[in-house]
């Protein structure tokens, strides 16, 4: 937690590109900022102008309009350049967003006056290797999944912690998650919920068969190596992005990343548990009207 931030003046407003309501609300936010004498950069997250403004480290704030997926994309964009993110929720859950669509006026007044705090979230770095050659690397805000492909057969995942053999999972997959990701796929797979400020790595197997079936929480300084053993398709997927293929004996290393995602918070620091209870009692994906 970073206290007493300065009132932001250099601001970008970015909406989810496929949400017309987000784009419309973004225009309202821009008009509000312009009334305060601020000329924000505006567009959708993939726009060149938005990305260049973030990369130039010339921003005090990015306002992201959408759901948790939008916040993940904003985190990937902003974390390397230390730009804080304020999320306005137009999605379903809103674990990462801070403001509802009906409260953004009051929220913007508080932010522009400097009445907010900054929450830092650890990120991971995942690296794919084949015969020692690096084939890909990714920043991870939620989780990295190594698992089976479309064929409904488990894969063997030889898992090492800090270079020491842990176990071989026979499972649909293995999740390496941050505390942020502990409320996402890792939670659905039976993992524990970690407070967002913790800098730990969470390991959770997905549908393990005659294998260790408990989640493991690792220290920030630890690292994980997952070696794939399979005679059919395997994949890696980071933060829900499109899955990429893995071959037999490919290795995926996961460790604490060099970047930290920063989110603007207006609620008191105990907000996480209140929101968690609300989300779990009223799951918008369940179809229940409660």
Report, as residue numbers or ranges, the catalytic residues: 68
Do residues 38 and 12 touch, judged by C-beta distance below 8 A?
A: no
Q: What is the DSSP string of 245-281?
A: EE-TT-EEEEEEEEEEEEEEE-S-TTHHHHHHHHHHH
Residue 62 exposed, middle or buried by CB count within 10 Å (0-12, 13-18, 19+): buried
Q: Quickly count: other Cβ atoms within 10 Å of residue 274's Cβ.
A: 11
Whole-number Å distance between alpha carbons of 257 and 141 = 9
Of 41, 91, 95, whose CA–CA distance to 271 is shortest? 95
DSSP letter (8 states) at residue 96: S
Tokens of 134: 């690096």
Scan for tokens 């480290």, then name that residue. Answer: 57
Residues 6+ apart with CB under 8 A from 166: 159, 160, 216
Whole-number Å distance between alpha carbons of 194 and 14 = 29
């Amino acid at each position: 937690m970073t206290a007493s931030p300065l009132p932001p003046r250099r601001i970008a407003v970015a909406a989810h590109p496929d949400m017309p309501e987000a784009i419309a609300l973004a225009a309202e936010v821009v008009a509000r900022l312009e009334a305060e004498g601020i000329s924000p950069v505006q567009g959708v997250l993939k726009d060149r102008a938005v990305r260049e403004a973030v990369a130039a480290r010339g921003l005090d704030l990015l306002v992201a309009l959408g759901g948790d997926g939008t916040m993940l994309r904003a985190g990937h964009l902003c974390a390397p350049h230390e730009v804080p993110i304020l999320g306005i929720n137009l999605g379903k859950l809103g674990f990462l967003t801070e403001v509802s669509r009906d409260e953004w006026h009051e929220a913007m007044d508080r932010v522009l006056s400097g009445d907010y705090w900054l929450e830092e979230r650890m990120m991971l770095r995942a690296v794919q290797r084949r015969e020692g050659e690096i084939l890909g690397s990714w920043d991870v805000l939620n989780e990295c999944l190594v698992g089976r492909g479309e064929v409904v057969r488990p894969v063997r995942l030889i898992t090492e912690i800090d270079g020491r053999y842990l176990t071989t999972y026979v499972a649909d997959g293995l999740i390496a998650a941050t505390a942020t990701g502990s409320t996402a796929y890792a939670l659905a797979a039976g993992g524990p919920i970690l407070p967002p400020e913790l800098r730990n790595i969470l390991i959770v197997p997905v549908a393990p068969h005659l294998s260790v079936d408990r989640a493991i929480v690792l220290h920030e300084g630890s690292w994980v190596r997952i070696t794939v053993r399979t005679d059919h398709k395997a994949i890696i997927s980071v933060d829900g992005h499109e899955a990429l293929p893995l071959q037999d004996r490919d290795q995926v290393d996961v460790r604490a990343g060099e970047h930290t995602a920063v989110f603007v918070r207006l609620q008191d620091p105990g907000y996480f548990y209140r929101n968690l209870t609300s989300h779990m009692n009223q799951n918008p994906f369940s179809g229940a009207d409660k």
